[in-house]
């Protein structure tokens, strides 16, 4: 039940860390959208392991195949099947971990839930599950760009205690974000972030970070007034990503410290539409977009897999010292950037399709 | 589509600020649960306007009637209809606001979405919509207590810049929370918070705050591994509340600043089950509960309705000065406490029912 | 989970035979549709018990109240709460039936499913549950008429072995259907049907029948190609009604006896659109409407409650003779006519709203 | 939205007639069920084209691959991805059909709905879409057999006007059904049916038929009392299959001609459970299974593709004579047998999983 996301523009993902393939079925995508694998591969490449010295050194091509739903480069309105083969690497890395639940991993809770877990890797909690999301998110982005010129850009705003200075969210591009391997558009902060990741990695440790995201050109009227508020669906989307611990829209937790006279966003005229002078709302009021940029932040904890020895207990409660092997990311936020963009796109595309209907109705 | 929440234990709310009634239909509640209106009314009373000097002075009894789904004090397994009459007060308070969208309210976005909005009050964005949630949440709590002894306690942790010291989340009770009208269990902080709210109110301003929540005795195994991670559903639940801007589980944004060697929660033996030494995870790993207390925080912005004059524009873009009248909360967090508890209960009850099924399957 | 129907235009019903009220919440109805209780009451009156000598002599006013979702006679786009009070009549009629499951009733299966059942009447299997459907269906009809001029007319085609001759489905009206209390538009057949019902009633027996239904002016393009084929959703809708045993669209079972050269509906020009020369398809091809009238038939078994003594066993398997008391319909089809119309309207309104979206997308 | 079926045990299919692959993702299957491709392939082989002289002579291996969701021959509780490659055969067969909508095909309605259609074959309306259903249905059957010993057997009861005599639904096996290529277990009737199909085929015509189905060992308590009545979900399942025109449960349309005193199924003791003396109900009362065999019938129209010339019009309304080429089934019912079984299994598995939950709750 938990593998489907969205109400009308719906993605269902499948695949574990070491099965034959991971992928997604995307149902509810409108017909006649131009779409080929070339629209999808770039975001998979940005998500791919092994892309830089601060990411895991596992190497996977993660090449996508479209199985269904398009013909002659156009969508048919039918479900789009997407598929990325797994390279099988099961045996060596995980063999002796079965009896010792890794701290802050999903091993223990998966076992408590299902009475069984994949013998290796993270099963459905694996980061490889996000491949289906990124592939489907790329289709969502294509739809959003084609229909409305929506632009979605995420970037690394913090690594550990290192915060990047504010960026110009009106103009920031993915090229600017990708100039540095840590995906922070501020060169000086990026350099310090890379050093912090490298230090953590070299110590056998890991480090957390914060991903920021802006969605521009979202028209007013997307999102629904009660349970499917735009910010509520974005919050679910982001907290459904592995390793996330927090979500903010607009002023976020800082907004809780403010007075209304400061926090309120007065209206003003922006060309032929109403806009707001400030944007503490983060582009959303009452759960519905107001035409201003949507601004959010997502907190990622430090990865749970570390090389440093950990004093814990095994499944029977006996004290053990766990030392992880294998190749893992010391910090997930650089690779999380395209994943956050994908989840934002999936939420917005669903709302776009739902609102198209409303506009037709009320017209 | 947006008025239903939950997958198996499902609540559908109805009602606007000034229609005949607000309420909910709760489908998927198991049969044979003891239930009467007396299980529901106390949380509605804690949510009710006019309950203290720092809440809105509107007075509404908000008395609940169960329309269906129970007989002789037991649930039948059929949908539970719940209903609270509205006291009609439409005319005077809102008359001249129609043409001027209130800053940081849902007026403008509702109009952009539907091409129409309720002529007064907040429509579906009204705080009165939360009555259905609180009523249904009380049923969810009854189920969780009866089945598993789950305890849910929320409290005010911050008002503006005033932070309460850490509380003992293992023992905190609602009685302790309710000792002060601001619903902060620390008496000294509470006094300062009340003063801050009164100051804001007297200046015609409003102020934000943060609600904390703990859920105790949640067994391991609740929540699903991908899109319906427990924290993802809690995040959606909380961000679907009016005026919320942020959500944290466990270490939250602070966790993003930590190293894995510190953040990881080693396992230990707690009686006959595995527990964790620390709880940075907030009771959830890989989207599934691990048996530790679930800890979360929700940021509420300052209410948008303030008496201070605001320079804004009307629907045609003409500059106007808006001065709100009426009786409104200068700070929502005291009354938000039972609402946060209700949303936590709705998420957990849905997961409980879904996991009952899993346990049956794997047994 | 089973109390909600529809994907976008969604109705959730509540209420058992003897609780305080029955009703529905209708979510997903577009804004700005003219709607008052006067749009809903007529179909409830056609469904009401006690309306003729061949219906149950219980008398219930079944007067509807709109609780939410409209203002000044227009829908707001928010959930429409609908409510009909039950007249409490619990005690006398059902007292000693608890220990003896009534043959072909839901008593036994409800008990096996829930471990409990309402102490009287049919619980959720009661015909009173259909009140919420009829009320919501009337809103759906208003939408369909307003947007597309859709006309839905059901009638009694058979009672027992008495079949009415074919009617002109292009012109048949509800007034013509209602000319006779059995709701068969052919006067001669109607007279024989009434006699058959009266004979069954006077013998303490009951009798089955078939309801036919036509939906006119449905545009081409409604319905979806796979699981939500228009005929599949209609089949679910009709078989979800109490006492139904079969469903046919277009040629139905007779079509299974035909050759393709006869059954195929060749296209022809009808004004400015393509139509078909014959209509064996019943207005649907590949699950999607083709612009021709939608034609279906629903089989209703004879009511299970009969006054004749029945040899059966009690819950412990001991032989007993059951003699039912109370006032019951000897034949459900006359009162089923507005219920079939309601279910057809709910399916079509959902498809209409879903297709509005598609049209917007592909335009 | 229309490509997903089921509420908890959910299948999503993908694929058109001529894309790279067809398949399904099955979410909600419990963990630890023994499952390999060998559980799935036999039903795909029974569905496969080219298996006999009365089926289409297209030859496709339809070999299934499990992509995810199992390890070491056991399910993991995660989504099961299933995949069958298409053999590409696009060019020659369909080239000149684009401008002429085939009578009683989905060409015209698909075009009206989406503004585009697959250039060849039936797109999503293709019989190849049912491959995903059959594969997922085989998993559902494995679950039902493993948990409850449920047996599902469908057979051909009629071809054109040829009706097989009643069979012993208590004992009928698939082996008995498969003894004849037409899948009618009565040898004499089967011979006449084969002759009827051959005659139709040789004339360039097609012929309809009726598939019967029995589900044995279904425990009491499956199905839900209102919209998700067991018979309602079965009706949707069957009417969602291509070429279906009618559905009956138990007494079906014949039941509408009966009196209650005859139609009612009195209870009796069968071993340690209550059973019924007769089974006009078809194993379902009030939407919930009663422990008796579930009996249903599905009407299939004659295939729309015939070699005989048809007088119709093209998209512009100009009269044309259409002569189909290619290799098509003259009668679908023999190959529909495993598809009907699959759909029955998908409905029952969903209800089984949902009821497991209920049993846990009420225990």
Q: What is the pLDDT of residue A30?
A: 92
| Candidates A25, A360, A362, A363, partner chain C, best to mutate (most C CBs within 10 A) | A360
Flag whether residue C9 sits within 8 Å of chain D, measured between CB atoms. Answer: no
| Candidates A10, A226, A357, partner chain C, best to mutate (most C CBs within 10 A) | A357
Residue ranges of B 92-131 with Cβ closer than 8 A to chain A: 101, 103-106, 108-110, 112-116, 122-125, 129
Q: Count the residues in chain A.
A: 363
Give the least confident one: B129-133, C30-34, D50-54, D130-134.
D50-54
Look at D32 and A68 and tell me if their CB atoms are within 8 Å: no
The C-alpha of D343 sits at a distance from chain C's nearest C-alpha, in angstroms, of 11
D302-340 pLDDT per residue, tens: 999 999 999 999 989 999 999 877 668 899 999 999 999
Q: What is the pLDDT of residue B361?
A: 45
Q: From C30, which residue of chain B is nearest by alpha-carbon distance? A: B114
Flag whether residue D237 sits within 8 Å of chain C, measured between CB atoms. Answer: yes
Look at C267 and D233 and tell me if their CB atoms are within 8 Å: no
Of C67, C70, C115, the CB nearest to B32: C115
The DSSP result for C254-265, as a single string, is: HHTTSBHHHH--
**How does residue D94 score in pLDDT terms, banded at 50, 70 and 90?**
low
Q: From B108, which residue of chain A is nearest by alpha-carbon distance? A: A290
Least Cα distance to A230 among B236, B339, B125 occurs for: B236
Q: What is the pLDDT of residue D121?
A: 61
| Candidates B222, B358, B359, B363, partner chain D, best to mutate (most D CBs within 10 A) | B358
Q: From D356, which residue of chain C is nearest by alpha-carbon distance? A: C113
Q: What is the pLDDT of residue C359?
A: 52
B167-182 pLDDT per residue, tens: 999 999 999 999 999 9
Flag whether residue D41 sits within 8 Å of chain C, measured between CB atoms. Answer: no
Surface-to-core class of residue B271, CB atoms within 10 Å of its CB (0-12 exposed, 13-18 middle, 19+ buried): exposed
CATH superfamily of B4-362: Chorismate synthase AroC (3.60.150.10)
Query: What number is the average pLDDT over the span D342-350?
Result: 98
Q: What is the pLDDT of residue D115?
A: 80
| Candidates C142, C361, C362, C363, partner chain A, best to mutate (most A CBs within 10 A) | C361
Whole-number Cα distances in Å, A343 to A5, B172, C25: 10, 37, 31
Q: From D303, which residue of chain C is nearest by alpha-carbon distance? A: C260
Of A8, A21, A117, the CB nearest to D67: A21
Look at D104 and C264 and tell me if their CB atoms are within 8 Å: yes
Query: What number is the average pLDDT over the span A263-273?
Result: 95
Flag whether residue C249 sits within 8 Å of chain D, measured between CB atoms. Answer: yes
Look at B32 and C114 and tell me if their CB atoms are within 8 Å: yes
Residues of C in contact with B72 (CB under 8 A): 119
SS3 content of chain B, % helix, strand, coil (to 5): 35, 25, 45
d(C-alpha B302, C-alpha D265), whole Å: 65
Query: β-pairing, B151-159 with C273-276?
Result: unpaired
What ipTM describes this predicted complex? 0.96
Of D30, D357, D361, the CB nearest to B362: D30
Flag whether residue A308 sits within 8 Å of chain B, measured between CB atoms. Answer: yes
Query: Would you list the domain boundaries of chain A?
Result: 4-362
| Candidates D130, D163, D232, D245, partner chain C, best to mutate (most C CBs within 10 A) | D245
Q: What is the pLDDT of residue B49?
A: 85
| Cβ count within 10 A of residue B119 | 16
- D130 versus D361: which is more confidently predicted? D130
Of C14, C68, C76, the CB nearest to B69: C14
Flag whether residue D207 sits within 8 Å of chain C, measured between CB atoms. Answer: yes
Look at D361 and B354 and tell me if their CB atoms are within 8 Å: no
d(C-alpha D9, C-alpha A115), whole Å: 18
Answer yes or no: is pLDDT of A202 > 90. Answer: yes
Least Cα distance to D98 among D302, D328, D307, D316 occurs for: D316
**How does residue C96 score in pLDDT terms, banded at 50, 70 and 90?**
low
Give the least confident one: B227-241, C46-60, D123-137, D292-306.
C46-60
Residues of C in contact with D266 (CB under 8 A): 103, 310-313
Give D323's contacts (C-beta < 8 A, 6+ positions apart).
Answer: D307, D308, D309, D310
Torsion of CA A314, A319, A320, A321, to 10 degrees: 130
* CA end-to-end span of chain B: 36
Q: What is the pLDDT of residue C125?
A: 81
The C-alpha of D82 sits at a distance from chain A's nearest C-alpha, in angstroms, of 10
Look at D30 and B356 and tell me if their CB atoms are within 8 Å: no
Q: What is the pLDDT of residue A91?
A: 44
Q: From A249, which residue of chain B is nearest by alpha-carbon distance? A: B245
| Candidates C286, C289, C324, partner chain D, best to mutate (most D CBs within 10 A) | C286
Q: Judge if pTM exceeds 0.90.
A: yes
A3-34 pLDDT per residue, tens: 999 999 999 999 988 889 999 999 999 999 99
Q: What is the pLDDT of residue B91?
A: 44
Largest CA distance in chain D: 69
Q: From A28, which residue of chain D is nearest by alpha-carbon distance? A: D1
Look at D261 and C205 and tell me if their CB atoms are within 8 Å: yes
Of A31, A32, A357, the CB nearest to C360: A357
Strand partners, A288: A285
Flag whether residue A301 sits within 8 Å of chain C, measured between CB atoms. Answer: no
Residues of C in contact with A356 (CB under 8 A): 357, 360-361
Q: Are B246 and A284 in contact (CB under 8 A)?
A: no
**How does residue B88 score in pLDDT terms, banded at 50, 70 and 90?**
low
**How does residue D55 score in pLDDT terms, banded at 50, 70 and 90?**
confident
Q: At what angle do helices B333-362 and B230-239 cross, to 10 degrees?
A: 150
Residues of C in contact with A225 (CB under 8 A): 78
- Chains contacting B (3 or more CB pairs within 8 Å): A, C, D
C164-222 pLDDT per residue, tens: 999 999 999 999 999 999 999 999 999 999 999 999 999 999 999 999 999 999 999 99
Flag whether residue D19 sits within 8 Å of chain B, measured between CB atoms. Answer: no
Flag whether residue B74 sits within 8 Å of chain D, measured between CB atoms. Answer: no
Look at C208 and D313 and tell me if their CB atoms are within 8 Å: no
d(C-alpha C251, C-alpha C245), whole Å: 17
- The DSSP letter of residue A167 is -
Residue the block writes with tokens 């924290």: B231
Q: What is the pLDDT of residue C323?
A: 86
The two three-digit tokens of residue C322, written as one number: 């059951």
- The DSSP letter of residue B348 is H
- A298 versus D59: which is more confidently predicted? A298
Look at A67 and D16 and tell me if their CB atoms are within 8 Å: no
d(C-alpha C343, C-alpha C130), whole Å: 10
d(C-alpha A249, C-alpha D82), whole Å: 39
């Amino acid at each position: 039940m938990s593998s489907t996301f969205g109400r009308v523009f719906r993605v269902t993902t499948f695949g574990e860390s070491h099965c034959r393939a991971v992928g997604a079925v995307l149902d509810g995508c409108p017909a006649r959208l131009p779409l080929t694998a070339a629209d999808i591969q770039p975001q998979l490449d940005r998500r791919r392991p092994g892309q830089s010295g601060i990411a895991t050194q596992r190497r996977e091509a993660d090449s996508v195949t479209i199985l269904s739903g398009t013909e002659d480069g156009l969508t048919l309105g039918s479900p789009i099947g997407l598929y990325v083969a797994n390279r099988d690497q099961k045996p060596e890395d995980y063999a002796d971990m079965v009896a010792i639940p890794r701290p802050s991993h999903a091993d223990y809770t998966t076992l408590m839930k299902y009475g069984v877990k994949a013998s290796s890797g993270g099963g459905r909690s694996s980061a490889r599950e996000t491949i289906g999301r990124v592939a489907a998110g790329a289709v969502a982005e294509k739809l959003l760009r084609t229909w409305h010129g929506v632009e979605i850009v995420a970037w690394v705003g913090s690594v550990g205690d290192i915060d990047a200075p504010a960026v110009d969210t009106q103009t920031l591009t993915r090229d600017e974000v990708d100039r540095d391997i840590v995906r922070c558009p501020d060169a000086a902060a990026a350099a310090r972030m890379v050093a912090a990741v490298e230090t953590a990695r070299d110590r056998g440790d890991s480090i957390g970070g914060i991903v920021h995201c802006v969605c521009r050109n979202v028209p007013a009227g997307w999102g629904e007034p009660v349970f499917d508020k735009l910010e509520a669906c974005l919050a679910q989307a982001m907290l459904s990503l592995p390793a996330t611990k927090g979500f903010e829209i607009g002023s976020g937790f800082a907004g809780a410290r403010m007075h209304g006279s400061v926090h309120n966003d007065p209206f003003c005229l922006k060309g032929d539409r109403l806009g707001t002078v400030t944007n503490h709302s983060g582009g959303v009021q009452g759960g519905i977009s107001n035409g201003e940029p949507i601004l959010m932040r997502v907190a990622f904890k430090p990865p749970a897999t570390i090389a440093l020895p950990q004093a814990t207990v095994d499944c029977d409660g006996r004290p053990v010292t766990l030392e992880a092997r294998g190749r893992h990311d010391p910090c997930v936020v650089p690779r999380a950037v395209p994943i956050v963009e994908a989840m934002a796109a999936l939420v917005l595309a669903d709302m776009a399709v739902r609102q198209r209907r409303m506009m037709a109705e009320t017209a």
